[in-house]
Amino acid sequence: MAAAAPTRGEVLSLLRTARHFSDYNIREYTRRRATDAFRENRSLGDVAAAAAAYADGKKRLEVAKRQAVVYSLYAPKAKSIMEMKLQ
C-alpha cells in the first residue's frame, strides 16, 4: 500500500517547530535545514518520494529535539551574542 503524501500543514509544521527551540544555534540550524530540504524536494511529483522526504524530515526533527534537550542540560548562563539586543 502506498503512503499518503503529507499535507501542506504537516510540512509547514516542521518549519514552525524550529521556532520553539530556545537555543539560537539549534533554532537556526533546524530552520535552515527545513528550508533547504523544501527547496530540494520542491519538484517531487511521486507520492511515495514525497512521503519518504517527509519521513526523513520528521526523523531529523526528532534528532534536533533530542539535541535541544542535551543543550538545555549543559546550557551556558549567558545568552548567545546573536540573541542579545542592542541598546
The reply to whether 79 falls in a domain is no
Residue 85 lies in a domain: no
Q: What is the mean pLDDT of residues 7-25?
A: 77
pTM of this structure: 0.66
Cα distances from 31 to residues 4, 8, 17, 25, 86, in angstroms, run: 25, 17, 9, 10, 24
Quick check: is 11 in a domain?
no
Residue 12 has pLDDT above 60, yes or no: yes
Please report whether residue 83 resides in a domain.
no
Residue 43 within a domain: yes
pLDDT at position 33: 84
Question: Residue 72 is which amino acid?
Answer: S
2 is a domain residue: no
Domain tally, the chain: 1
Residue 34 lies in domain: 17-73
Evaluate whether residue 61 is within a structural domain: yes
**54 in a structural domain:** yes
